[in-house]
């Protein structure tokens, strides 16, 4: 790329529109405008915010095209309520809130690089519990539209019982159960988040086919008996040593002849492509103690240590929706 001074300055300023959008999402400002246009004064009262500060934010949102301003009243552009409100059909609010939390950690990147320690976690105006709920909802937001397409790459897509490791959103379990109407599933995740899957399973009419088990895969044994294990967007949170321990636990939980499917980013050997993967490694640097993104060869080595055979890529893309499948030998 041929860099110019103007392009570099634009790159340095590129955080500004993102943070304006993130602040609106954290305040759930778009929800406040879902039913009618409001003045800045009315919005300040509704959101319990400072009038001057909120007015500046509202005008910036209008300048970006995220709001319309007419006669000193602000409103949502037609059709955007589907994306910008929490109840919208294709709501992106939770993901925007999650990205705001990420941004607070990214702002500490230089210190992280110097110290080797992850960034300090600073809660949003929504508090720690609100931030955690946003993270789970954000994972559903990005996974639900692609889940059916992604799992279709696992052929043959036949199983009797699924173990969804760290699957608290319930998104992937629901897609698997819809794909195999006779199958059942176990979702295993931390006790404080496992309940978040319950309402989605009930709403989908799948609660009777899924068991929810609370626990920590870093310290607890995984529930046994599955013939397919799904490890989605987890390996990047861990070091390779931690992943090897996790793969051993999955291997022990699977029935002989069972399969493990891993969904995550796959890096090329040089580790500079895909770009999304290189940037996501930075996200893990600021957010975790030992996480990162891995190459196929690294995953193959770590799976082999655990006893898995014939790992292969069944789906590859630039982002998080690559899928690697490996098998537990029938005689194991």
For residues 42-63, average pLDDT: 98
Give the residue extent of every domain in the chain. 14-143, 146-327
Token representation of residue 181: 């109407």
Position 196 scores a pLDDT of: 80
- Phi/psi of residue 213, each to 5°? -125, 125
pLDDT, average across residues 6-30: 97
Contact 170, 178 (CB under 8 A): no
The 10s digit of each residue's pLDDT in 240-294 is 999 999 999 999 999 999 999 999 999 999 999 999 999 999 999 999 999 999 9
pLDDT of residue 104: 97
Span 126-151, pLDDT tens digits: 999 999 899 999 999 999 999 999 99
pTM of the entire predicted model: 0.93
Residue 230 in contact with residue 170, Cβ under 8 Å?
no
Superfamily name and number for 146-327: Vaccinia Virus protein VP39 (3.40.50.150)
Is residue 92 predicted with pLDDT exceeding 90?
yes
CB neighbours of residue 9 within 10 Å:
10
Residue 1: per-residue pLDDT: 79
Q: What is the pLDDT of residue 285?
A: 98
**Cα dihedral sign for 285, 286, 291, 293?**
negative
Triad 233, 236, 240: Cα angle to 5°: 130
What mean pLDDT is predicted for residues 57-77? 98
For residue 155, name the pLDDT band (cuts at 50, 70, 90): very high
Distance of CA 193 to the CA centre of its chain: 14
Which two tokens mark 23? 């602040």
Q: Is 142 helix (H, G, I), strand (E, B) or coil?
A: helix
SS3 at position 297: helix
Distance CA 105, CA 121 (A): 7
Q: Is 80 left (phi over 0), alpha (psi -120 to 50) or beta?
A: alpha
Q: How confident is the model over 73-89, as pLDDT tens digits? A: 999 999 999 999 999 99
> What confidence tens digit (pLDDT) does each residue in 195-214 have?
888 888 999 999 999 999 99
Q: What is the pLDDT of residues 298-323, one digit of tens each?
A: 999 999 999 999 999 999 999 999 99
pLDDT surpasses 90 at 194: no
Q: What is the pLDDT of residue 168?
A: 86
Cα separation, 113 vs 110, in Å, equals 5
Pinpoint the alpha helices (H) of the chain. Answer: 5-13, 15-26, 29-32, 40-47, 51-63, 81-84, 93-106, 109-115, 127-143, 147-151, 171-179, 191-194, 196-203, 240-253, 275-287, 296-306
pLDDT of amino acid 195: 81
Sequence-separated contacts (24+) of 315-322 with Cβ below 8 Å:
315/150, 315/153, 316/266, 318/274, 318/275, 318/276, 318/277, 319/265, 319/274, 319/276, 319/277, 320/142, 320/233, 320/263, 320/264, 320/265, 320/280, 321/146, 321/150, 321/263, 322/263, 322/264, 322/265, 322/266
- Residue 169: is its pLDDT beyond 90? no
Structure confidence at residue 193 (pLDDT): 85
Q: Which of 66, 58, 99, 57 is nearest to 84 (CA)?
A: 66
Distance CA 322, CA 312 (A): 11
Cα 323 to Cα 321: distance, rounded to the nearest angstrom: 6
Beta strand 68-70 with 309-315 is: unpaired
Q: Which sign, positive or negative, has the C-alpha torsion 238, 315, 211, 245?
A: negative
Report yes or no: 54 and 43 within 8 Å, Cβ to Cβ.
yes
Report phi then psi at 18, rounded to 5.
-65, -40
Report pLDDT digits (tens) over 216-242: 999 999 999 999 999 999 999 999 999
Q: Is CATH 3.90.1720.10 what the domain over 14-143 is classified as, yes or no?
A: no
Q: What is the mean pLDDT of the chain?
A: 96
Distance of CA 168 to CAs 53, 68, 296, 306, Å? 37, 37, 26, 25
Between 332 and 260, the more confident residue is 260
Higher per-residue pLDDT: 193 or 280: 280
Q: Is pLDDT of 105 > 90? A: yes
Return the pLDDT at 164: 98
């Amino acid at each position: 790329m041929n860099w110019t001074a103007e392009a570099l300055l634009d790159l340095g300023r590129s955080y500004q529109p993102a943070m304006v959008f993130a602040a609106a999402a954290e305040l759930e400002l778009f929800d406040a405008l879902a039913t009618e246009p409001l003045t800045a004064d009315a919005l300040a009262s509704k959101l319990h915010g400072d009038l001057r500060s909120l007015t500046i934010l509202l005008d910036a949102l209008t300048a970006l095209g995220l709001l319309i301003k007419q006669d000193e009243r602000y409103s949502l552009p037609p059709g955007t309520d589907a994306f910008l409100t929490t109840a919208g059909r294709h709501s992106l609010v939770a993901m925007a809130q999650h990205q705001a939390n990420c941004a607070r950690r990214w702002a500490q990147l230089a210190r992280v690089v110097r110290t080797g320690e992850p960034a300090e976690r600073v809660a949003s105006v929504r508090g720690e519990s609100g931030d955690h709920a946003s993270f789970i909802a954000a994972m559903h937001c990005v996974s639900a539209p692609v889940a059916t397409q992604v799992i279709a790459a696992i052929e043959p897509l036949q199983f009797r019982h699924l173990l969804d490791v760290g699957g608290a959103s319930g998104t992937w379990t629901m897609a698997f159960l819809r794909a195999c109407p006779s199958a059942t599933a176990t979702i295993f995740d931390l006790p404080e988040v496992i309940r978040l899957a319950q309402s989605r399973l009930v709403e989908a009419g799948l609660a009777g086919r899924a068991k929810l088990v609370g626990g920590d895969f870093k310290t607890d044994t995984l529930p046994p008996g599955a013939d397919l294990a799904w490890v989605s967007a987890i390996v990047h949170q861990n070091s390779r040593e931690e992943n090897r321990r996790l793969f051993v636990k999955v291997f022990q939980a699977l029935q002989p002849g069972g399969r493990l499917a891993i969904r995550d980013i796959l890096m090329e050997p040089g580790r500079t492509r895909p770009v999304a993967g290189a940037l996501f490694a930075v996200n893990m640097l600021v957010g975790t103690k030992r996480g990162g993104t891995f190459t196929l060869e690294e995953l193959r080595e770590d799976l082999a240590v655990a006893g898995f055979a014939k790992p292969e890529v069944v789906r590859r893309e630039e982002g998080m929706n690559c899928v690697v499948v490996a098998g537990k030998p029938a005689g194991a």
